[in-house]
Structures are given as structure tokens and as C-alpha cells.
Structure 1
Amino acid sequence: MRGSACRVSSCRASNATRGAHRASTPTGGRPPVPRRAPPVQRARNRPGFGAFQHASLRHSDATLGHHPEPPMLTASQLKGLRALVIDDIREMRSMLRDTLAEAQIKDIVLAPDARTAVESIRSAPFNLILSDYDLGPGTDGQQLLEYLRQERLLPPGGLFFIISADSTIDRVASAAEMLPDGYLVKPVATEQLLNRIEEALARHVELRPMYAAVHAARFDEGLAQCERFLKAGPRFRVELLRHMSMCQVALGRWDDALLTYRAALKVRSSMTWASIGIARCCLAMGDIDAARQRLTTILKDRPYHAGAYDLLIELLERTGDVEGALKVATRAAEHIPSSVRSRRQAEIAYLADDFEIADTALTKVVRQTANAITRDSRNSALLAQVSLARGDPKRAMQLIAKEASERPGDARTQALAAAIDVQAWTALRRHDEAADAAKRLERAFGVEAEPRTRLLIAKAAFTAGMTAQGMKVLDEAVKAAEGISTAENASTRALAAKVLADAGMTEQATGVVADRSEEAAKEAEAAVRKLRAGAFDEAVEMVNLALPKAPEHTGVLTAAVEIYLMTMRLKGVRPDLLAQVQAALTRLRVRGTADPDRLKRMNAYLQKLEAGVSEPVAEMPDVAS
């Protein structure tokens, strides 16, 4: 697609930008407490490291180098904070407590591990959490943050800092996966820690209404708050643009989101989140090639960026390239060694029938999370499903039986156990046991669970011969995923297609995995063919059906405009079609994704119609050309 504004290449971070994030050096005070961890491995000269080291992993105007620092918080504001310090070494807990006390923070709770921390957080929320990365056996600091976000235990404006003795790029990139408010490398000077906390708190205090609205998923209100703060002045401009784009994407306002991402890149061209945002807009608008090109460029420059990997995987899944998605997921797991990355790699490997990779990755995830609060029975269930695919039903039952015995009151885990048992006993030709497991499975049909768990239940239903019930569960899972996110929708559809294909329902599998935007594009092309055959009313009716399926798809929008224009030229102006043409042309013009020459000719046609001129404008483009 010529002239696409989605094709602007990504820019590398400048040395000046990275310099704004340089590490502070200790300025005295207590000597650092010896750690069990090996000596800090310096990685300042490794590619991509400058973007992370000692940096706030959220984007604030402090990184721009041209904006005055936010004002110091008052003593009363600091005194009113409630802080939680988590470290498995008592001396470190005491040292951090004393540091916070120097800043007049009085309400400070200490926790030696993640489980104790969660208990404290459940009892009353904290404004500030400082957590060591290494918390001894069990849950580490990154897994703790993952759990708190998943369970929505962090209040709006609550801050979470990770502190670690390890500054290697693998560790920092892994920590960045959950977007903490900062990552600090030991030894941390008192002044450095307090400056970072104070800077983040000042931002959150001032922008509290915006954070509260976004946290509560009130995106219209969040958008209004962002606009209000931006009109008030340039303070926190980048943070506000980031949250504005989040709200616009959540509301499906892709045109506005594209403008916001461009505005952010004008402030600083190296902001990767904005470049990824443009790629997401391109994908939503149907410009697959532009989205792929931008993401590939980002990952070439920043091979540790989790968000770019996620969106590229989503793109490949949506286009049916499972092998390509597996290659990308494997690269992500190598660069960012976290259980989240390994789990994603395993899911895609299972879709690609690469059960060896899936087994290895899931075994790693189950081992890493065995004693963590992020332990999830779905990991063992998927590993059991992989074992079934590898012809080992006994191992599959052993894996899920352990989970079921340790979580007897968890309905989801028991449903997964029934699903695995049905398939395993059937594979072993133990029909009586399979029938008993099928009875348990029937009770699981009504269990509330996320889409991918529902799909494993549907797979077991097909194995048990309960085809109608399985299709009902599968359809419910696919519909539920559509309301969660585009990424969840893509991965759920891909898994649903595999479940159906494994059950011998190839035709249904093809229908499930089809991307609605691509389906709409084909329908728009068919409408154009009707137009060329002189069936104007039928062409309008067909394109009207295609538009709601992909209202942001550039190709569908362009086809609709041209069909409407040609119909009105030959059959007379219709106010409803004229209004749709005007709105669509405005969107295409603002986003800049349509061919500029074609857009110019369509605008000329529109002006003639609005002026009441009946003769055709020369060289009206064919949609199919």
C-alpha cells in the first residue's frame, strides 16, 4: 500500500536519551550488606542495555532532558504514605526501612517473603512497595508483581519498585515484563532511592484522577482526564500521551490513537511503546505488512522488548503463520527468561505440533512456579495435554492428579482434571474409567473459566463423543475471548481450530480461525465485483454487511467509499451514503494509510457530488486495481 503513514521506520535511542537514565553512584552512608548472589555483572556496553539500566520502566518527562523536575513532595504527603518493604535478608529490610524513615514515611511494614507480603497487602493497600528481586525459595519479585496485577491488588497510583543485585540485561528485561515503576541495582544510595520515589509519587499525586479512571476501566473518563491535564501544560506530557493512547485503543478509536502515538514520537522519537502502538494501529486497520515491518525493525534494534514480541506473535497467529509465531516466541523466551515467555512459547509450540519444545518449556514453567504464588494449574494441565499428544497418558494423569489433590476445592482445577482423565483413559482403552471421567466432565461444562481452559474441556468432550456439548463450550470460549483483547482473541481462535482439527472437524476449524477483518476484505471485494456488474443496490448491501466486521480496515473503508460514490453518481445523492462517505474519507485522510492518489480522486468525486455536478470525474479508480 503506497504512501502508508504506518511505514515510518523506528528510530534508535540516542546517547543523550540513555544518558538521562545513567546510574547514580553511592554517596556514602552504610556499607552494603553482603548478598548470597554472585558479584554484579556489568552489561553497560551490551546492545539495548542503556534503555533499561537504573531507569524507571515507566515513561516520565524526567527522561526528556528539557523539562524541569517535578516539585518535591511536602513532608505531610510523605508522612501519610503506607510503605511495604520485601526482602529475604533482615539487614536489608532494616536498611530500607531506615531510608524511608529518613524521608518522614512513618507507616512501614516489613515482609520476608512474597506470601507474607500478599497477606499484608490484602489487609490494607500500600502506596509504595519496595521488593527485592531474589526473595529466596518460591516467588521472586517479578512473579509477585505479576500476581498483584493479575489479582488487582495494587491500588490506582500505587508504586512498585524492584531492587536487585543483578544488572545484567536478561534480568532487567525479565523484570520489565511486568512494568514496575522502577528497577534499582544494589548498592542503592539513599539519595538515589528517595529521588526516584519522590519523582514517581509526585507524578501519581498530580495525575491521580486519570490513574483512577484508567485503573477502573472507565476509559472515556480517563481520556477526558488526559485531555484536561494536557491542556493545563506540558508537565508529564509523555505519561499522559501514553495513557491517552491506552484509552483510545480500549475504545477502538484507532484514528485518534494513531495521532497520539505520532505526537509522542515527535516529543522523543526513541519511545518504543509509541512505535509499537503505531504497529498495533496498522494491524487493526488491515495494513499487515506495515505492522510486520515496523515490529521487525523494533526487535532488530531492541531484542529485549516483550511488547514487540507479543504483537508480532499476535499478527502471525491472526494470519495463520503458526510456525513463524513459534520462531518469534522462541526468540522472546531466549532473550527474556521468564515463566510468562516460556508459557507463551509452549502454547504456540503445541499449536504447531512441536510437542518436544512444548514439553521442555512447560516443564520449566511448572518447576519455576512450583512454590510461587503465581503457580497455576493450567500449566500442569497443558503439560498433561502435551503428554497425551506424545503418547504418554499415564504421565498426563499423574501431572493433573497432583494438581487436583492439592486443590480439591478449586472448580477449575477439578474441571481440567476431568478433561485430562477422559482423554487418558480413552487412550488406554479403559472404557469404564473413561465413562466415569466423562460424568465428571459433564459437571464441568458450567464451570466459570477463561477461554483456553474452556477449550481443553471442549477437546475432552469431543473425545467422549459429546459433540454438541463440546461445540457449545468451544463457541462460548471463542466469543468470550473476543471481549478480552485482540491478542487473546487470536490465540484462542488458533487453539480452537486445533481442537476442532484434532477432532476431525476440519471445515469448522477453518471457519473458526478465519480473521474477521480478512473475511470482511473478501466480502468488500465481492461487493466491488457486484458494482462492476451493475448491481448497485446489491453492492451497497454487501459492503454494508462487511463494514461492521472490520470498521477500521483501510481496504474495506476504501471499497465502501468508492461503491457509495459510484452508486450516488448513477442513481442520485442519498444523504445517508453521503454522510458515510464524508466520515470515511475524513478517517482515511487523518490516518494517512490509503493510497494518496486514490484518496485525492475520491475527494474530487465527493466535491462534484456535493456541488451537484452530474458528470463523472476523470480516472475514478477501480477498487480492484
Structure 2
Amino acid sequence: MRDYSNLSVLIVDPSQSMRASVHNMLTQVNINKVDQAVSAATAIRALTNRPYDVTLCEYDLGTGADGAGQDGQQLLEDLRHHKVISPWAIFVMLTSEGVYSKVVSAAELLPTDYILKPFTVDILSQRIGRALERRAVFLPVYQLIGQGRSADAIAACLANEAAQPRYAVDYARLRAELLCSLERHAEAEQAYAGILKLKPLGWALLGQARAVYALGRLDDAEALLRQLLAENPKFIAAYDLLAQLLRERDRDPEAKQVLEDAVALSPHMVRRLRNLGDVALATGDIATAEKAYKQVVSKAKYSEFRDPADHVNLVRALVHKGDAAGAASVVRDLERSMRSSPGVDVCRSYAASMVKQLSGDADGAAAELAKAMDKLAEATGMSSNLKLGLAHSCLTNRMDEQAAALFDELVASPDSGVDPEQIAALCKEAGCPDLGKRYTMTQDQAVDLAVREAAVLSRSGDPRGAVAVLQDVLHRYPTHTDLWSVSVTTMLHQIAELGWDAELATQCTALMRRMREHNAQHPLLPGLLAQYASLRQKAATNPTPAAAESN
């Protein structure tokens, strides 16, 4: 008999009698390191604190306070999405035969195994043994992945597809997923196509659609997703990707319908409800947005992954509806139910500013918005959607500089998902079309405009204004090499006119260092270095008060 004495197991089940029964079965096969969780939330806390060799999870986790309607599949998706467990963790679902037939074909993130109830100790032992055996087979590849050697892992998968035909499809799937993670999407598409030639598997067709989508072939991706949903209308993850694709193509009404269809099939997934609220709000369907956001706030109330931005979204929907009292109630709920942190404080102040704006308290709205902006620098994990909303509120409260700072941050971040056209549309909606135009310019156009504006300011006797314009465009385009020499020249001009400025001098030396690293033979560099040295010497021998203080 296999020795299981070193295994650690977590049982997740709301039923005390079922937990006791499974615990007893485990004891009979010499598994004594056993912990128990009664809900999704307590399971997440346990798995966050320590890894388990095996998790045995009841599919139907009930609708108690902690579970809030979440089932075992959704728990697994949360654990994988938030990387609480590793991709190779053993997660076994305990379920009835009727439920199994409904979920097995629709689940994208499959558990390691399903065990149908009722089951015996022999069946439980056999399934655990089989899972351990399978993990041992894949362990060398998992170790390569854990070491960050994804390319080597891909090669190992390819070799094992031929050497171990029993696991050929599993190795092919892992190889395709690794190719996607390395953004080798064309190879991933071929890998998924190879799997589909062997067997028409839903997850493989979804993987192929994802690869095609990443390659920018949106028509092909949409066709694959429509095919998948026609063949298997319960493959929920396909709805999510299709809605994302439709939104990217500015087909929000269709995306909303797709998400409504998905929610009708699987009504408890918080991320999907959140997306439905977003697209409903974007299409002006305030009733659907309010309903979706209320469900998000309710279902996430006891979640370990609770996001204060969900309250903000609900407030936005209620403000659009004109329900000031309802929105204020949501703000109070946020204050009561979540401990203060920079992220929570940002969301509370932002939500409060919207309520005050709706109530006609413009000064109060601006004050709350200023608090939100002050805390934003300390907050982490704030979504692009929330920052866009904050920027829009800043514009409507005549806080244009703060809005521009947020826009600059979003445009500069390749992961924000925000494009200049979105910002331009938001600025137009807020009555600030000129601000939006700066984001739809090409980089060279924006730099050229800033250089000309700085020249005008410099000639008119405002060297500080000229430097400020160039510092702003430098912040947005720090790698624009032509901007470096112009900025140094303008900064040195300010120092010559107004006296030594240590902070500005530091910026000059940093830019000249970048110029040298980029082109050691830069024709303007010797003159700029000589001018800098002359001004530095002048400040040392005949210091202004500011220069003397800096020395």
C-alpha cells in the first residue's frame, strides 16, 4: 500500500458531517496532516498561509455568509487567477454525478480530478494516488517553470509528447500555454491546432482563439469563439473573451448581451458581473449596471479579494440614476465594512466626491476629490478604469493638472489598456477637447509643439515657463532623444537668467549623461558641457543666495 503519511490535505466542505467522513477516510490511509475549511473564504485563508499537497473541495459550497453563493469551480478559478495555488497544485472536486455532467464540459480551469459521490475510501485513495503519480510525471517540467526556464520547459514538453503518449495531450496543452506566456502566439496557435486535429476539445479551441486574438486577427478570433459557443453553449470562459473582443471593436451593446448570456448560465462569478456592470454603464443601461454592481458588492462582501473600487462602481451607477441617497448609503457601507488603507481611502473620497457633486455641493466635491488624489500616490492596484473615472471627475471640477497627470500615467503604461482616443473622448465629454488633442498627436508632433511653445515663452522672458513645458513633455516621452538637448539648453538658459538651481542642474547632468550614452559624438554635447561648467563656476565664485544654500 502506498505511503501517504507525509501528505498534507485541506478539506473544503460546508457540511460538518461530510468533512468528518472524508477526514476519517484519510486517516484510514494514514493521512493525518489534515485541515478543514467550511467555505471559499476560509479555504483561501488556509491556502494563503501554507501550501497543501492535496485540496479536496466540495463543488456546492452553499450560500452561507462566507460562501456568498460561490461554488467550488469559482473558488478554483479565484485561486488560480490570484495565484494563491500553483498551476500544478492538486485540487480534487467532490461532486454528485448530476452536477458533474453540467460542469465538466464548461470549466476552462479544470481541477486535477473529480470524485463522484458517494465514494469509498478505496476510490479516494486511488484518485489521490493517481493525481500524485501524474504530478510526479510532470514535476521536471514544473520545476523548470518555477525556475523561470520557460523555453526549456517548452522543449521538455515537446520531447515528452512523443516519449509519453499517455500524457501527450497534457504536454501539448502545457506547451501551448507556455508559448502564450512568452507571447509566442503564432507557435501557440499551431500547438492548439495540432491538439484539435487529435480531438475537438473546447479548451483547445478557446486557446487557439486567444492566440489568434493576441495576434490581432480579430475576425478569426471571433469566428472561433462563435464556433465554440455554437458547439458548447455552456463553455463560460468563451463568453468572457468574446465580450472583451467585442468591446475592443466598439460593439458594446453586443458585448453586453454576451455577458448577460454568460451571467444567466453562471450567475456568481464576481469578475464577470463586474465586466457586465462596466459595459452596461458604457451603453447607458443604468438599471443593468446597478443590478450587476450591487451583486458584485454583495458577493464580494466576505471575499479575501474584496476590492473597494466595487463600491465606487455602484456609486457611479447610482449617481447616473440620480439616486443621491442610495449612493451616500453605499459610501457609508464602504466606510463601515473596510479598514482604512490608501486604496480604500482613495475609493471612499472619490465616491464621496461624486455624491457631493450630485447633491450640488461643488466645493465639497472638489475637496473630497483632492483627498483622493493625495492618497492615490500611496495606493497600489488601482485599476485603469478607476483612474479614468478619477480623471474625468477632476476635469469636471476644473482640476485639469491632476487629470493630465493621470492621463500621462495611463498613456505611458503599456499595461494600462488605455489608448489616446479614449482619453480624447473623455476630455471632449468633460468639455475639455483641447486637452484631449495632445494625446492623439504623434510623439513627434507633441514634442515639436512643446518645443515651439517653450521657445515662445523663453523669448517673452519666462524661462521657468519654458522649462516647465519641456519637463512635462519629457515626462511623457522620456526616450525622445531630440528632446534631451533642447531641454538642457532651456534649463541652462533659466540658470543663466535666474541664478543657480541645484535641482535643475541635477536634471541637466542626467540628460547630458543620457546624451553621451546614446551618442558619445553628439555635436551639441561639448558646448552644453562647457556652458554648464561655466555656470557652475560662476555660482561657486559669486553665489546667489539659492546657490550658496545648495553649496
- For the 8 Å contact 1:342–1:362, the answer to whether it is kept is yes
Distance 1:499 1:399, change over 3 A: farther
1:21-80 deviation line (CA, Å, top 9, x unaligned):
xxxxxxxxxxxxxxxxxxxxxxxxxxxxxxxxxxxxxxxxxxxxxxxxxxxxx723x332
* Contact 1:83/1:126 (8 A) holds in 2: yes
Q: How far is 1:156 from its partner?
A: 5.0
Change (3 A) 1:146 1:233: closer
Find the partner of 1:201 among 114, 132, 139: 132
Structure 1 residue 284 corresponds to structure 2 residue 211: no
Structure 2 match to 1:359: 290
- Map Cα deviations across residues 380-424 of structure 1 (whole Å, 9 max, x no partner): 221111111112233223213321333232221211111122222
Q: 1:198 to 1:476 in 2, by over 3 A?
A: farther
State the distance in 2 between where 1:172 and 1:247 align.
Answer: 26
The structure in which a higher percent of residues are helix is 2
Q: Secondary structure at 2:94's aligned position in 1?
A: strand
Aligned residue in 2 for 1:101: 27
Identify the residue that residue 452 of structure 1 maps to in structure 2: 385
Q: Would you say 1:328 and 2:258 are equivalent positions?
A: yes
Q: Counterpart of 2:335?
A: 404
Report Cα offsets for 1:356-391 as digits up to 9, x if no partner.
111112222222332343433222221111111112
* Contact residue 80 and residue 86 of structure 2 kept, 8 A: no
What amino acid does structure 2 have at the position aligned with 1:252?
E
Aligned counterpart, 1:489: 417
Which residue in the other structure is 1:55 paired with?
Answer: none
- 3-state SS in 2 of match to 1:79: coil
- 1:199 positional shift: 2.5
Match of 1:152 in 2: 83
- Of stretches 400-409 and 379-388 in structure 1, the one that deviates more from structure 2 is 400-409
Q: Does 1:317 align with 2:250?
A: no
What's the CA shift for 1:97?
Answer: 1.4
Tell me the distance in 2 between the aligned counterparts of 1:510 and 1:311: 31
| Contact 2:161 2:169 survives alignment (8 Å) | no
Using a 3 Å threshold, how does the CA distance of structure 1 residues 357 and 505 change in structure 2: closer, same or farther?
Answer: farther
Matching residue's letter, 1:304 = K
Q: How does 1:579-594 map to 2 (within 5 A)?
A: none
Q: How does 1:58-457 map to 2 (within 5 A)?
A: 75-76=2-3, 78-132=4-58, 133-135=60-62, 136-139=64-67, 140=70, 141-155=72-86, 157-165=88-96, 167-168=98-99, 172=103, 176=107, 179-214=110-145, 219-268=150-199, 270-340=200-270, 341-446=272-377, 447-448=379-380, 449-457=382-390
Instruction: Provide the rounded CA distance (Å) in 2 between the counterparts of 1:165 and 1:513.
Output: 56
Residue 162 of structure 1 deviates from its aligned partner by 2.9
Contact 1:351/1:494, CA 8 A, preserved across alignment: no
The equivalent of 2:464 in structure 1 is none
Q: CA deviation at 1:302?
A: 0.7
Q: Distance in 2 between matches of 1:110 and 1:505?
A: 57
Aligned length: 433
Extract unaligned runs of 5+ from structure 2. Answer: 442-551
1:464 paired with 2:464, answer no
Q: Deviations over 1:83-136 (max 9, x none)?
A: 011222222112111222333333222233444434433442101111223253
> TM-score, normalized by length of structure 1?
0.62
Alpha-carbon distance, 1:296 to partner? 0.8
Contact 1:349 1:357 in 2 (8 A): yes
2:503 maps to none
CA contact (8 A) 1:213 1:221 kept: yes
2:17 corresponds to which letter in structure 1? Answer: E
**Does the 8 Å CA contact 2:55/2:92 hold for their aligned counterparts?**
yes
Take 1:164 and 1:153, find their aligned partners in 2: how far apart are those partners?
Answer: 23
SS of aligned partner of 1:75:
coil
Q: Secondary structure of the equivalent of 1:474?
A: helix
Q: Cα deviations across residues 413-439 of structure 1 (Å, max 9, x unaligned)?
A: 211111122222122221332232133
**How many angstroms apart in 1 are the aligned matches of 2:106 and 2:189?**
28
| Structure 2 residue 406 is matched with structure 1 residue 473 | yes
Contact 1:86 1:111 in 2 (8 A): yes
Displacement of 1:146 after TM fit? 4.2
Task: Report the Cα offset of residue 440 of structure 1.
Answer: 0.5
What is the CA distance between 1:321 and its match in structure 2?
0.9
Aligned equivalents of 1:216, 1:402: Cα separation in 2: 44
Contact 1:127 1:155 in 2 (8 A): no
Compare 119-128 and 352-361 and name the one that shifted more.
119-128
Question: How far apart in 1 are the matches of 2:403 and 2:277?
Answer: 24
CA distance in 2, matches of 1:326, 1:509: 27
SS at structure 1 position matched to 2:165: coil
Contact 1:157/1:211 (<8 A) preserved: yes
For the 8 Å contact 1:161–1:184, the answer to whether it is kept is: yes
Mapping 1:2-81, distance limit 5 Å: 75-76=2-3, 78-81=4-7
CA-atom RMSD in angstroms = 3.2
TM-score (norm 2): 0.70
Higher relative contact order (CA closer than 8 Å, sequence separation 6+): 1
